[in-house]
Structure formats: structure tokens, C-alpha cells
């Protein structure tokens, strides 16, 4: 009797879970079926949704509900606290599985080659986001001593960073913010957040809704210099 196709997926973030879902919905899931094992370095799954989305964005974090439905399927098993390649090697996976999918994601910031990037007080967004989302691999404290902060980039992460820095800690208290992050933001000295984009507002990667969210806070005044509004293709 033919056995199910065995697939290993390294990384149980959104990409890995959606890959498992796609396999279950594909032709390979027909008889004799498919068996999928997800290997995750962290104790819990969901990757970017758990550790990369601002705590005051419950709508996006709600994607976890759909991901849970995939993990609940009987053809899928999840193994947490498994660090590739230290705990399991590619040879190990090839010995027991017919196919291996890697969905480990982007775990670090891309190097930004500009003068002064290595000076004290310069940080990558990925590290800061990991801190305010309570990622266990980052320190429990963050130096929030600057009164004026520059955020380079006009993507959704840049807006998340600016919003978290501009809001008061008490505004974030109803969210999933960890206690140590609340304490850190309570001592935040930032009073001005400057967001810099390489191109014009037409090329910004955040949505108008995300920009409007900044103005929802009674403690934030959004200021846009009209001279900076230069639309071009």
C-alpha cells in the first residue's frame, strides 16, 4: 500500500504554514495523501505575526486565527524548539522526508550603506520591533534616551516604529505589550519623530489608513511639510 508523501517545512511562520496549507489543497494531497511536519526554532509558531507586527495592530495579528485552523489539520505536526541546523541537519531531513521546504524568513535587517550608520544610537528596525514585541532573543531593555528620533524609510514598519515611539506607554497598555516594554516606553524621552523617505509620498509603502492611525492618538500631532509633497512617477 503506498504511503503518504512526507514533507518537512523548516520555519512555522506565515510562509511555512501557508505552504503547508497549499500542499494540503494541491494534487499531491490526493490518495495516498500528504504528511507534513513543521520545525520551528521558537517555542511557539506564527513568526512574523507574533514577533513582527506592532502590538496595537490587532487586525493583522488576527491572521493567527486562520493559521491556527491550518495547524489543527490532522496531516500536520508542529515541532517547536528545533533549531536548524544545530538540532537537525539537512541530511537528517532528507533521510526521513520526500521533500524539504525552507521558510525561515528574514531574521535580520539588510545593511544600510550610508555614512554614520555604525554610530551609537543607530539601530535596525528589526531589532527594535523584536524588542517591543517581546522576542526572547533580544535584550529586555532598550535605550530610549533621545528626544529627537529619525526613522529612515516610508514602509509599514517605519510607520509602526514611529507610532510606537510617539504613543504613550499607557495608550499601548490595552494591547499585548509585554510588561518590560511598557516600562521601557514609560521612560521614553522622544518628543519629535522625523520620518524620512528616499522618494516622494506617491512611492510610500505604508497605506493611507496606517498614516491616519497616527492622528488617532491624542498625544500625536502629524506634521507634513507642503514642500515635501512632490508627486512623481
Tens digit of each residue's pLDDT (9 = 90 or more) over 93-150: 999 999 999 999 877 788 888 888 889 999 999 999 999 999 999 999 999 999 999 9
Q: Mean pLDDT, to the nearest integer, of 53-81?
A: 91
Q: What is the pLDDT of residue 231?
A: 56
Tell me if 9 sits within 8 A of 16, measured CB to CB: yes
CB-count exposure of residue 178 (10 Å: 0-12, 13-18, 19+): middle
Q: How far apart are CA 157 and CA 168, in angstroms?
A: 18
- How far apart are alpha carbons 229 and 225 in whole angstroms? 7
Please name each of the domains of the chain with its CATH number: 5-102 (3.40.50.720), 125-221 (3.50.50.60)
Whether a cis peptide bond, with omega within 30° of 0, leads into 32 is yes
pLDDT bucket at 204, cuts 50 / 70 / 90:
confident
This prediction has a pTM of 0.85
Amino acid at each position: 500500500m503506498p504511503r503518504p508523501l512526507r514533507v518537512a517545512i523548516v520555519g512555522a511562520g506565515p510562509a511555512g504554514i501557508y505552504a503547508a496549507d497549499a500542499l494540503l489543497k494541491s494534487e499531491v494531497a490526493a490518495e495516498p495523501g500528504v504528511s507534513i511536519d513543521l520545525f520551528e526554532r521558537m517555542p511557539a509558531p506564527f513568526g512574523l505575526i507574533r514577533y513582527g507586527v506592532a502590538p496595537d495592530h490587532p487586525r493583522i495579528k488576527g491572521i493567527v486565527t486562520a493559521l491556527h485552523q491550518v495547524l489543527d489539520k490532522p496531516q500536520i505536526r508542529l515541532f517547536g524548539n528545533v533549531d536548524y541546523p544545530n538540532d537537525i541537519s539537512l541530511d537528517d531531513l532528507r533521510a526521513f522526508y520526500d521533500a524539504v521546504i525552507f521558510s525561515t524568513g528574514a531574521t535580520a535587517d539588510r545593511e544600510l550603506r550610508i555614512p554614520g550608520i555604525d554610530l551609537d544610537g543607530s539601530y535596525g528596525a528589526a531589532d527594535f520591533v523584536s524588542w517591543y514585541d517581546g522576542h526572547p532573543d533580544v535584550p529586555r531593555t532598550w535605550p530610549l534616551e533621545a528626544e529627537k528620533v529619525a526613522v529612515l524609510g516610508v514602509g509599514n514598519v517605519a510607520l509602526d516604529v514611529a507610532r510606537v515611539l510617539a504613543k504613550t506607554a499607557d495608550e499601548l497598555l490595552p494591547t499585548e505589550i509585554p510588561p518590560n516594554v511598557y516600562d521601557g516606553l514609560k521612560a521614553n524621552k522622544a518628543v519629535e519623530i522625523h520620518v524620512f523617505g528616499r522618494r516622494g509620498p506617491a512611492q510610500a509603502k505604508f497605506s493611507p489608513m496606517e498614516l491616519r492611525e497616527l492622528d488617532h492618538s491624542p498625544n500625536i500631532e502629524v506634521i507634513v511639510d507642503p514642500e515635501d509633497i512632490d508627486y512623481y512617477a
